[in-house]
């Protein structure tokens, strides 16, 4: 490879270079900054700036026309750029949500934002993967960082348990993915997506088996049932800002990766993988809806909510069309916004004795903190797909994609489970609006209050931006057209 070719390749991965160099630099700088809290604050601020800078580079400074780098291992197209921008901004918001919590719990260390940067770097590589090896490298860079983040509170038994469970089950999913990738390589003769696509035009039994294992490994990353078992325990045990991060950027990146894998190398095998995604969708919607009804912990409820919402996204993806891609992209974008705001409310659940997480602790919130209660109401109902809120349009579009592809029965089933899901959101809101207050929460930090209220207003205000957002995701999904 000549110097000119190397520079051309590096131009396509500038956001990744920003994050990689920034993470390594901050890791060294954090050691020399005096004071643990001072180091944590400074590294967090610089990390947020790097994430916003990377998003700006991806949106405004990407080479026109994109292309591939490193012999086709990395691809840069409109789909990857859109996914990167959402992932970078979601990670920045997660860092904003974390700052005050980490200080209050006395676990604020500069390693936290560095791990967020490294996880986000892995996600960025994932959504630009054009080769099974690149896919695995990005996935593992993300996963290894997330394992540490789940157990970041070393003094908490619950956090240590969450980290261990996530690591063990994550290793199992990586094994499934690697085994599937080895089968695909064996029967396709290459790890490159373009070569796999050629082999998929006339698929062998071995290639189909490889596809099943690859999809199973990726299903774990989006916590789709029956690969969801880690989600409730990890959400509950991990520090709340870590759970907020898990529910946003990694979930979005993994879904975008699943879209790319199914639509590009295995696009010709839609009849085969459609059966898998339909089963995953039904199981996820059922377990998410019914499991959440039994929860008393708000973080576990959000975990089951995320399982169900991944099921709705898979309903749209099962259509296997370009319309399905942009519908899922918009749905996941709106989901990330709603969940970030909802976790802002959960992070506001602090009393003098510390953080509380039980649903009954929200009793009477409308009387003690009416603004927070109103925002929480809008966010939960939007995530649930209540009509006339912005989340409804995301859910409507994924069901529309399924209907357009002839999967009417699956869309109807999704509507039924969506109706059930509204029940557990109303169960929470009943506590908020009709129960008598137990004790008032302490005032939330300004950063969390702003994010919560902006996201809450967005459940209605974003209705004005839905046409613009729809145009952006349609443009990004055009790479899969035909």
Residue 265 has pLDDT above 70, yes or no: yes
Q: Count the neighbouring beta carbons within 10 Å of the beta carbon of residue 261.
A: 22
Over residues 376-419, the pLDDT tens digits come to 999 999 999 888 888 888 899 999 999 999 899 999 999 999 99
Nearest by Cα to 71 from 189, 194, 196, 199: 194
pLDDT band per the 50, 70, 90 thresholds, residue 1: low
| pLDDT averaged over every residue in the chain | 90
Distance CA 283, CA 318 (A): 14
Q: Is the pLDDT of residue 294 over 70?
A: yes
What is the predicted pLDDT for the residue at 12? 87
Whether the CB-CB separation of 220 and 190 falls below 8 Å is answered with: no
- The whole-model pTM stands at 0.95
Instruction: Give the tens place of pLDDT for each residue, 317-348.
Output: 999 888 899 999 999 999 999 999 999 999 98
d(CA 304, CA 252): 16
pLDDT in the model for residue 439: 79
What average pLDDT does this structure show over 119-135?
Answer: 95
Reply yes or no on whether the pLDDT at 473 is more than 90: no
Q: Which tens digit of pLDDT belongs to each residue from 158-197?
A: 889 999 999 999 999 999 999 999 999 999 989 999 999 9
pLDDT value, residue 54: 94
pLDDT-wise least confident of 10-19, 56-65, 217-226, 284-293? 56-65
The alpha carbon of 54 is separated from its chain's Cα centroid by a whole number of angstroms, namely: 18
From CA 214, how far away is CA 206, in angstroms rounded? Answer: 12
Residue 438 phi, psi dihedral angles, 5° rounding: -90, -55
pLDDT score of 258: 95
The model's pLDDT over 434-453, given as tens digits with 9 standing for 90+, comes to 888 887 888 888 888 888 88
């Amino acid at each position: 490879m000549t110097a000119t070719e190397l520079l051309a390749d590096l131009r396509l991965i500038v956001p990744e270079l920003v994050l990689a160099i920034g993470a390594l630099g901050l890791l060294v700088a954090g050691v020399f900054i005096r004071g643990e809290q001072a180091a944590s604050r400074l590294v967090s601020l610089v990390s947020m700036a790097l994430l916003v800078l990377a998003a700006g580079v991806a949106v405004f400074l990407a080479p026109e026309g994109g292309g591939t780098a490193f012999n086709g291992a990395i691809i840069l197209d409109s789909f990857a750029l859109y996914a990167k921008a959402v992932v970078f901004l979601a990670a920045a918001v997660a860092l904003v949500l974390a700052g005050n919590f980490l200080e209050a719990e006395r676990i604020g260390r500069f390693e936290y934002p560095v791990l967020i940067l490294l996880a986000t770097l892995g996600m960025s590589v994932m959504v630009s993967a054009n080769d099974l090896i690149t896919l695995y490298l990005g996935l593992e860079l993300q996963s290894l960082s997330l394992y540490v983040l789940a157990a970041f509170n070393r003094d908490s038994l619950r956090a240590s348990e969450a980290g261990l469970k996530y690591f063990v089950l994550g290793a199992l999913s990586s094994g499934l993915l690697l085994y599937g990738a080895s089968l695909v390589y064996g029967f396709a003769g290459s790890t490159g997506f373009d070569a796999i696509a050629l082999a998929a035009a006339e698929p062998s039994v071995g290639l189909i088996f490889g596809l099943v294992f690859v999809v199973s490994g990726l299903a774990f990353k989006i916590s789709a049932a029956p690969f969801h078992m880690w989600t409730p325990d990890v959400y509950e045990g991990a520090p709340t800002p870590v759970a907020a991060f898990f529910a946003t950027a990694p979930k979005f990146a993994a879904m975008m990766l699943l879209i790319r894998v199914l639509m590009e190398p295995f696009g010709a095998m839609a009849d085969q993988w459609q059966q898998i995604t339909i089963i995953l969708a039904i199981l996820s919607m059922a377990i998410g809806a019914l499991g959440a009804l039994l929860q008393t912990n708000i973080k576990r409820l959000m975990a089951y909510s995320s399982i169900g919402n991944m099921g709705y996204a898979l309903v749209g993806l099962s259509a296997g069309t370009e319309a399905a891609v942009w519908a899922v992209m918009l749905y996941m974008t709106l989901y990330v916004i709603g969940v970030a705001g909802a976790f802002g409310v959960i992070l506001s659940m602090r009393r003098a004795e510390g953080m509380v997480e039980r649903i009954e602790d929200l009793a009477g919130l409308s009387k003690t903190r009416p603004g927070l209660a109103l925002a929480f109401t809008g966010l939960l109902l939007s995530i649930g797909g209540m009509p006339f809120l912005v989340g409804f349009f995301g859910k409507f579009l994924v069901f529309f994609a399924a209907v357009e592809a002839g999967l009417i029965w699956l869309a109807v089933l999704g509507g039924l489970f969506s109706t059930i899901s509204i029940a557990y959101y109303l169960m929470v809101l009943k506590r908020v609006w009709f129960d008598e207050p137990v004790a008032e929460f302490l005032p939330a930090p300004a950063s969390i209050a702003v994010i919560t209220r902006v996201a809450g207003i967005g459940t209605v205000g974003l209705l004005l931006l839905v046409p613009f957002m729809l145009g952006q995701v349609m443009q990004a999904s055009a790479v899969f057209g035909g």
